[in-house]
Amino acid sequence: MDHKPGAYKVRDLRLANAGRMRIEWAESRMPVLAQLRAEYAPSQPFQGYKITGCLHVTKETAVLVETFAACGAAVAWSGCNPLSTNDKVAAALALGGIEIYAWYGQSVEEFYWSIDRTIDTPPHLTLDDGADLIFTVHNRFPHLAEHIIGGSEETTTGVQRLRAMAQDGKLLYPVYAVNDTETKWDFDNVYGTGQSTLDGILRASSVLIAGKNFVVAGYGHCGRGVAMRAKGLGANVIVTEVKPTAALKATLEGMRVMPMHEAAAIGDVFVTATGMKDIIRGDHFASMKDGAVVCNTGHYDVELNLKELNTLATGSRVIRKDNREYSLEDGRKLFILAEGRLVNLAAAEGHPSEVMDMSFANQFMAHLRLVKQRERGELPGNVVMDLPSSVDQHIAALKLETMGLKIDTLTPEQEAYATDYSAGT
């Protein structure tokens, strides 16, 4: 691809060719997004709009970014985690003329510097994974909100916080909760997180999963996906929970349920997927078996209290990529993967393209709706909005079609039966 000059800061532009091949690989497995691109590019619905995104810079994200650009948008991007950027992909995007500030291994200062650069020119639309961009606008650059039509949020954690902001009257523009669409959470959170988390653990440790006590903290959609995949590989899965219904579901799905202080002493591999801080802390680390492998797949790096582990440990060293060995006083060794950051993106490549296809089709539709709502004067107030279920069904139908699968349709008599309240036994 010719280099159209755009503002960028990436690790090394020479990685661009390798990045372009990764993007092509992802593209060939994201047919729904390809269809949306083919459908909307001719009418250029984003012409005149700038979309700023803060979301993991992966090969799948590149396909989304280039879909927005192909449909007329000016795009500026940064990563949403200091350890999740693929430098090859970032270089390919920069070389293709996308404004991007992202590289693997950013410091926290560099992370926020990158976000700030993406809003030097005020955006019309914001796209978040974890809400760091929207919080930056609200906390440090609230005047930009006047210019912003709306935004979208990709994750459970981000949506929870934005709903709280909206409830307190603090949200400055409307946001689509992309996370909450069925074609996102029911696939990406479950099968995406399930597979990519195991992928990250294996790349960083290569431990045998079969026969191990595999502890999953949190049995939401993500934790459930991880537990299912660990079970499939032959682990004895233990689930820790605070929510009675989730714990019950785990039990009935064949997992053992117990509190973390019991699980800590018998676990071989630990994964946190809760969105809550301090899930595994000093007293838990202190009781772990020699050789325990511990990681997090939740959005923020707050689930493992590594400060308390550092206090307990006599020392630590990186023993292999994404794997730090901590030595305890009595000689036990504990292994923390990816510095407690999300192991599926830091140590592996994130969710497979096939599931991101649907998640990002939802992102595309959310932004298209924002633009159309704005043009028709139909934007609501500063609320967190769900995408209508028709969007979900459309995306699912497209996905099925691209998989060559056909389904039944109800007959008119069946349609009538569904709402016939005179029908009974």
Residues that bind ligand ADE (CB under 6 A): 55-56, 58, 60-61, 192, 196, 345, 350-351, 356
Name the pairing type of β-strands 313-320 and 323-328.
antiparallel
100: helix, coil or strand? strand
* Shortest distance (Å) from residue 297 CB to ligand ADE: 10
* Shortest distance (Å) from residue 353 CB to ligand ADE: 7
* Shortest distance (Å) from residue 260 CB to ligand ADE: 25
Task: Report the residue number, 55 or 366, with the smaller CB distance to ligand ADE.
Answer: 55
Which residue lies nearest ligand ADE, judged by its C-beta?
350
Number of Cβ within a 10 Å radius of residue 315:
9
Tell me how far apart the alpha carbons of residues 300 and 294 are, in angstroms, rounded to a whole number.
15
Of 185, 124, 125, residue with least CA distance to 154:
185
Task: Look up residue 42 and give its DSSP letter.
Answer: G
Say if residue 13 is exposed, middle or buried (CB neighbours under 10 Å; 0-12, 13-18, 19+). Answer: middle
Task: Report the residue number, 263 or 271, with the smaller CB distance to ligand ADE.
Answer: 271
Tell me how far apart the alpha carbons of residues 40 and 233 are, in angstroms, rounded to a whole number.
42
* Shortest distance (Å) from residue 224 CB to ligand ADE: 16
Edge-to-edge, what's the strand order for the sheet holding 236-240?
A: 256-257, 236-240, 213-217, 269-272, 293-296, 333-337, 323-328, 313-320
Task: Report the residue number, 137 or 345, with the smaller CB distance to ligand ADE.
Answer: 345
* Shortest distance (Å) from residue 286 CB to ligand ADE: 32
What proportions of the chain, in percent to the nearest 5, are helix, strand and coil? 50, 15, 35
Residues 6+ away with beta carbon under 8 Å from 136 = 112, 115, 116, 119
* Shortest distance (Å) from residue 175 CB to ligand ADE: 18
Task: Report the residue number, 58 or 136, with the smaller CB distance to ligand ADE.
Answer: 58
Single-letter residue type at 344: N
Tell me how far apart the alpha carbons of residues 386 and 182 are, in angstroms, rounded to a whole number.
11
Structure-token match 């939740």, residue found: 298
* Shortest distance (Å) from residue 366 CB to ligand ADE: 15
Beta pairing partners, 407: none
Task: Report the residue number, 123 or 192, with the smaller CB distance to ligand ADE.
Answer: 192
Edge-to-edge, what's the strand order for the sheet holding 50-54?
A: 8-9, 99-101, 74-78, 50-54, 125-128, 150-153, 175-177, 384-385
The secondary structure of 369-382 as a DSSP string is HHHHHHHTT---SS
* Shortest distance (Å) from residue 29 CB to ligand ADE: 11
Task: Report the residue number, 156 or 305, with the smaller CB distance to ligand ADE.
Answer: 156
Task: Report the residue number, 345 or 379, with the smaller CB distance to ligand ADE.
Answer: 345
* Shortest distance (Å) from residue 345 CB to ligand ADE: 6
Task: Report the residue number, 222 or 398, with the smaller CB distance to ligand ADE.
Answer: 222
236: helix, coil or strand? strand
Task: Report the residue number, 24 or 120, with the smaller CB distance to ligand ADE.
Answer: 24
